[in-house]
Amino acid sequence: MATGKDMYQDYCAGCHRPSGVGKFFLGIPASISAELSRADTVRLIREGDPRYPRMPVFPQIKFSQAQKIYDHLEDLRERHMLNQ
Ligand code: HEC
């Protein structure tokens, strides 16, 4: 079973960086920004969100997997706050 971290590395880190801080100079926001709830994030990953038209959609990521990716974002968010 792939962990949330594995899936984040595979699907998300290329754009949002492994630490989740995004790539400011490319206009990619931090995936760890706390704007979106768990439910909204899962929907953004699997179905897209009209508020984020430039974010790719991943219909192949299962609901349970998207939950794990969100859990990993929570870990990254916590780590980021501790490092500030
Ligand atoms: C091809 C690059 C790319 C990939 C891959 C990608 N994203 Fe994004 N993501 C973006 C961009 C660009 C935006 C901003 C969209 C907009 O404003 O239209 C975004 C927005 C977001 C946001 C909202 C950030 C905020 O400021 O509220 C979250 C959360 C997010 N992405 C999570 C993820 C996750 C989780 C994955 C992996 C499943 C992922 N992204 C994969 C480019 C990417």
Task: Return the pLDDT at 10.
Answer: 97
> Residue 3 corresponds to which tokens in the numbers above?
């962990």
pLDDT at 33 (0 to 100): 82
CB 22 within 8 A of CB 29: yes
Q: Which atom of ligand 1 lies at the shortest distance from residue 69's CA?
A: 35
What residues of the chain score a pLDDT lower than 70? Answer: none
User: Cα(5)–Cα(70) distance, rounded to whole angstroms?
Assistant: 10
CA 23 to chain centre: 13
What pLDDT is attached to residue 35? 83
CB atoms within 10 A of CB 73: 23
Q: What is the pLDDT of residues 9-30, one digit of tens each?
A: 999 999 999 999 998 888 899 8
What distance in angstroms lies between residue 84's CA and the mean position of ligand 1's atoms? 23
Q: Whose CA is nearest to atom 5 of ligand 1?
A: 12
